[in-house]
Amino acid sequence: MLNKVRLIACAFLMMAGTLTGFQTDQRAEAAVPACCEIATTNQANNTIDLYDPAVDDWNSPDALKWSWKPSTALGYSSAEVRLWGGPSEAKRKGSVLVATAGQLATIAAYPSGTRIWAADVGIGSNPHSAELLPNGNLAVAASDGKWIRVYTSSQGPSSVSYAQFNLDFAHAAHWDGENELLWVIGYDNVAKQHIMTGLRVGGTDAKPTLTEDTSRRSLLPSPWGHDITPYAGDSSKLWVSTNAAVYVYDIPAKSFTPAPEAANRSFVKSVGNLPSGQIVEARPDNVKTPPGGCTANGWCTDTVDFYAPDMTRTVNGAAFYKARIWDGPPEERLSVLNGLTAVETFYTDTVPDGGLKLPDYYFVHAGDQDNLILTRFVNPVNERSYLAVGNPSLSQTQMPAIQFDPERDIKQVKEVSAATGEEMDTSYDSQTGKLASTLLPGEMKLYALPAGFRYQIPQQLPPEPPAIGPYTNLALHKTVTASSDYGRSGWYARAVTDGQRTSTASSMGWTSYNDIKKNHTEWITVDMGASYKINTVDLYPRADGKNTGLGYPQDFTIQVSDDNVHWSVAASGHQEVRPTGMMEYTFPMTSARYVKIEGTQLTGDPFGNYHMQFAEIEIYSRTESHLTLELKPSKLLVGKTGELHVFGWTPEGEIDPLDGAVVRFSSSNPAVAGVDDKGTVTAKAEGKAVLTAEVTKRDGTVDKGEYELMVESLPSPWKADFYGKAYGLINPVEDGFTIRANGLGHGPEEDDLVYLYQDFTTENPVTVTSVIDSVYRTATGQDGSAGIMFRNGSEADASGSFVSLTVNPQGRLMMTARTEAGTVQELKGPYTVFPVELKLVKTGNRFTGFYKKEGTWMPVSGNPGHSGITVNMGKAIKAGMAVFSEESELYTAATVSRIRFESGPGIP
């Protein structure tokens, strides 16, 4: 027997005569209070949309109560987000949502939408339905996969083991708690019968089994079963739909009775009834007379139909597949959540694949034994933050010890009531930052943080793009978007970058699926993840026997972009006959991150349908040389040096370390940049120089590679010093600079950082102000810092005295100083958010730090007397911006702007 999990349920008081056979007393049902909401699977925008049936106009803002789809901000991995498309199921089970779409089955907390569990059910499976079992495991029915599975979702967020029962065209799954059966519908390919049957779930939670209770099998009265749902008010009955009709199934009698009157229709995708008896259905618009408004595909509708009493609810532009009745308790937190935007999600214990572990720097933590999901939401109007705390366990209640960072100065934490939507007092202690809570299985609580609290998740640089050679496919496993996507039966947009050059049952490639009865424009875009110099695109047509080459566009362009907004045409294609193999398109070398193939003249198939189809897309930067040259840093300022590195490529696309090879370096313009025999490059003057490496391998073969270097100068009177072993890239932008820098930062004896500055000679007070627009963590998560710095003297002295006011990616302010004697002082400031406006004031040998908060300059430690450091400096000083990464090799990146200097007489 399955272990029972406590699911919050809503009991309905049924009025006498409301459900008697199929008859409804409309006068009685009019007195029944509204109990439910209608969840639709909207394939127009891939969302689960929740509507209030009591609102006549579903296009009005009052009708839409909630809209959801997976996102990385809600804890889903980017891969899982890509798997979601064309939602096919949405059921509320107490405090959780279960849903299927595309290639994804998932359980999410409701109403926060935070990921509890998700699984890739397999390419081409086409999941149609899902059902949460009492023990927290998830049943999924997949029509093209031809199976019913029970996934071990109760065992953790990434537990994807399953038991499987084979059933062709499996379309529905419904748990019958009274009979402890999983009702399913499909086609028995052995018996050649369209059936509805009950499955017994056995085994353990971690290792379930599925077996058919053959005594429960019934032949469908018409073929191609589609839906099974509970009959509200009578647990001995079920709703069943097929391609031909809608039925009520009597479980004890094993009999089907046609649905009453107008509700008995063909091709109904979902059916159910409200506690009042009113029937709710979703039926494709293309089978209606006259046809409805949805033409996106052959199974969508923009209208949900209600019967007894009859009414319709239409959403312009929608593509509903199913409409589900959600009959849980009223969720008044939706009035708050609807105005919020999810920002980030973290897991405190068990982290799903692709999820994020709660970082040490976050403003809230949990006890060592607590297994929680934390999602921060923000109101975009007033910037107020809310924290959703969820229990991912579907079987255990938790009493977590929630700990807020006392240094964040969070004065109060209120809970948003699920019953009223109002803010309630909690046990939060502002002195200790502690908050006690109780969370039922799957439950989420929403907490409102103080109106003045601000938080930004630190931004982190991505890893440096790997080196590429002439054989590197830059499209392989990269993100793909398309104008339309069939999204089933092996046809997926992502399949064009999976490395499979021919079409197989599980990876046919990509096909468009929009307006198929007329010629039109379609496109597909590959995001390479970074900007590369490219000159070749290889297109592989679909390759599946007699259909090879179908869908290859007759006229198309290959377009490139760095921002996915502004496009330029790199090449054009015209293809009169169906290609049987790879087609190569070359163009002059260009820099791009995005490549789009846009078909403007499609070709029809034998059925008169117009699609654009490819099995694979590959992108290359092809050169005659098999060498790659890299300069660190990638460009130089006049007077600075860099190191040139050389490596080769094998025909298999592997790096050749060039062991035993002789390398000779040269420069096309030694007056601009010279290079010695070890590859050290010295920038001498502004201009361009081509650096060449001639490599003679041990077998005597010779190859040459080139690196084009631009040497630049900073705008006067700006200068730059690279202290210690640090180096960086400094680029002027409008009223500021972007600076990429490595370096360990301030040390007890000397500094290791990049310094952008101006020289001054004065004894008068000097004030430097600047806006720090952003500071990034390194690719490995080191904080780094950027800010204002004064240094003593006119020479570059890494061990000289200084005072700095910096901010790290977390928004934490810090004043740091080193005296002539080598004493290092630190003064911690508060947390703030970017952009940060800083001010450092030098008055004699006293330096005082400020930051701007809501338009007012605030001392970094609360008052000016505690916000200063004394360091002796002479008349000759440097003042400017310091940046370092806290790592010796990896960069941080900062953008600084509006750098201003103020002083009395004597400043140059």
pLDDT tens digits for range 237-283 = 999 999 999 999 999 999 999 999 899 999 999 999 999 999 999 99
Smallest CA-to-CA distance from 324 within 272, 285, 288, 363 is with 272
Provide the mean pLDDT of the chain: 92
Smallest CA-to-CA distance from 81 within 481, 376, 645 is with 481
| Pair type for strands 766-777 and 459-460 | parallel
pLDDT class of 27 with cuts at 50, 70, 90: very low
Between 2 and 826, where is the model more confident?
A: 826
The alpha carbon dihedral of 851, 855, 857, 858 has a sign of negative
Residues ≥6 apart with Cβ < 8 Å to 608: 517
Written as one string, the DSSP assignment of 229-248 is EE-TT-TTEEEEEESS-EEE
Task: Note if the pTM is more than 0.85.
Answer: no
How large a percentage of the chain has pLDDT more than 90? Answer: 83
Q: What is the pLDDT of residues 598-607, one digit of tens each?
A: 999 999 999 9
> Is residue 869 within 8 Å of residue 782, measured between CB atoms?
no
Letter string b/e over residues 552-584, b meaning 16 or more CB atoms within 10 A of that residue's CB:
bbbebbbbbbeeeeebeebbebebeeeeeeebe
Q: What is the pLDDT of residues 839-863, one digit of tens each?
A: 999 999 999 999 999 899 999 988 8
Q: Mean pLDDT over residues 155-174, rounded?
A: 96
SS3 at position 521: coil
Q: What is the pLDDT of residues 653-709, one digit of tens each?
A: 888 889 899 999 999 999 999 999 999 999 999 999 999 999 999 999 999 999 999
Q: What is the pLDDT of residue 886?
A: 95
CATH architecture of 627-712: Sandwich (2.60)
Please tell me the distance from the alpha carbon of residue 560 to that of residue 621, in angstroms, as a whole number: 14
Q: What is the pLDDT of residues 335-383, one digit of tens each?
A: 899 899 999 999 999 999 889 999 999 999 998 889 999 999 999 999 9
Q: What is the pLDDT of residue 8?
A: 31
Instruction: Retrieve residue 68's tokens.
Output: 């959801």
The CA distances from residue 391 to 135, 337, 498, 615, 789, in Å, are 15, 18, 36, 42, 46
Check for a shared fold between 339-457 and 627-712. yes
Listed range (145-154, 451-460, 481-490) with the worst mean pLDDT: 481-490
| Omega prior to 441 cis, within 30 of 0 | no
pLDDT class of 148 with cuts at 50, 70, 90: very high
SS3 at position 355: coil
Please tell me the distance from the alpha carbon of residue 221 to that of residue 236, in angstroms, as a whole number: 19
Instruction: Retrieve residue 900's tokens.
Output: 């201003």
Helical spans, DSSP H, in 791-886: none
Q: Mean pLDDT over residues 528-548, rounded?
A: 95
Please tell me the distance from the alpha carbon of residue 608 to that of residue 518, in angstroms, as a whole number: 8
Please tell me the distance from the alpha carbon of residue 765 to that of residue 115, in angstroms, as a whole number: 55
User: In the Cβ-directed half-sphere of 458, how many Cα atoms lie within 13 Å?
Assistant: 30
Please tell me the distance from the alpha carbon of residue 128 to that of residue 77, in angstroms, as a whole number: 22
Burial class of residue 760 in the structure, from the number of CB atoms within 10 Å of its CB (0-12 exposed, 13-18 middle, 19+ buried): buried
Q: What is the pLDDT of residues 639-651, one digit of tens each?
A: 999 999 998 998 8
Q: What is the pLDDT of residues 742-797, one digit of tens each?
A: 999 998 889 999 999 999 998 899 999 999 999 999 999 999 999 999 999 878 88
Q: What is the pLDDT of residue 503?
A: 94
Instruction: Retrieve residue 98's tokens.
Output: 């279960």
Burial class of residue 585 in the structure, from the number of CB atoms within 10 Å of its CB (0-12 exposed, 13-18 middle, 19+ buried): middle
Q: Starting at the edge strand that comes first in sequence, how are the strands of the sheet with 812-818 ordered?
A: 719-722, 754-761, 876-884, 785-792, 802-807, 812-818, 824-831
Q: What is the pLDDT of residue 376?
A: 97
Q: Looking at the domain that runs over 26-326, which CATH code has it been given?
A: 2.130.10.10
Does the domain at 719-903 match CATH 2.40.50.140? Answer given as no
pLDDT class of 908 with cuts at 50, 70, 90: very low
- Annotation: CATH topology of 479-620: Jelly Rolls (2.60.120)
Please tell me the distance from the alpha carbon of residue 226 to that of residue 238, in angstroms, as a whole number: 13
Letter string b/e over residues 122-151, b meaning 16 or more CB atoms within 10 A of that residue's CB:
ebbbbbbbbbbbbbbbbbbbbbbbbbbbbb
Assess whether pLDDT exceeds 50 at residue 16: no
Q: What is the pLDDT of residue 122?
A: 87
Please tell me the distance from the alpha carbon of residue 117 to that of residue 395, in angstroms, as a whole number: 14
SS3 at position 496: helix
pLDDT class of 425 with cuts at 50, 70, 90: very high
Listed range (136-145, 287-296, 328-337) with the worst mean pLDDT: 328-337
Burial class of residue 226 in the structure, from the number of CB atoms within 10 Å of its CB (0-12 exposed, 13-18 middle, 19+ buried): buried
The alpha carbon dihedral of 816, 821, 822, 824 has a sign of negative
Assess whether pLDDT exceeds 90 at residue 5: no
Please tell me the distance from the alpha carbon of residue 95 to that of residue 108, in angstroms, as a whole number: 9
> Is residue 612 within 8 Å of residue 600, measured between CB atoms?
no
Q: What is the pLDDT of residue 2?
A: 40
Q: Where are the domains of the chain?
A: 26-326, 339-457, 479-620, 627-712, 719-903
Q: Looking at the domain that runs over 339-457, which CATH code has it been given?
A: 2.60.40.1180
Q: What is the pLDDT of residue 692?
A: 97
Q: What is the pLDDT of residue 330?
A: 78
> Is residue 200 within 8 Å of residue 184, measured between CB atoms?
no
> Is residue 108 within 8 Å of residue 88, measured between CB atoms?
no
The CA distances from residue 120 to 140, 346, 362, 516, 615, in Å, are 12, 21, 30, 29, 21
**Residue spans of beta strands (DSSP E) within 713-835:** 719-722, 728-733, 736-743, 745-746, 751-752, 754-761, 766-777, 785-792, 802-807, 812-818, 824-831
> Is residue 148 within 8 Å of residue 209, measured between CB atoms?
no
Please tell me the distance from the alpha carbon of residue 493 to that of residue 441, in angstroms, as a whole number: 37
pLDDT class of 7 with cuts at 50, 70, 90: very low
Q: What is the pLDDT of residue 677?
A: 94
Assess whether pLDDT exceeds 80 at residue 67: yes
Q: What is the pLDDT of residue 34?
A: 54
Assess whether pLDDT exceeds 90 at residue 804: yes
Residue 600: beta bridge partners? none
> Is residue 726 within 8 Å of residue 884, measured between CB atoms?
yes
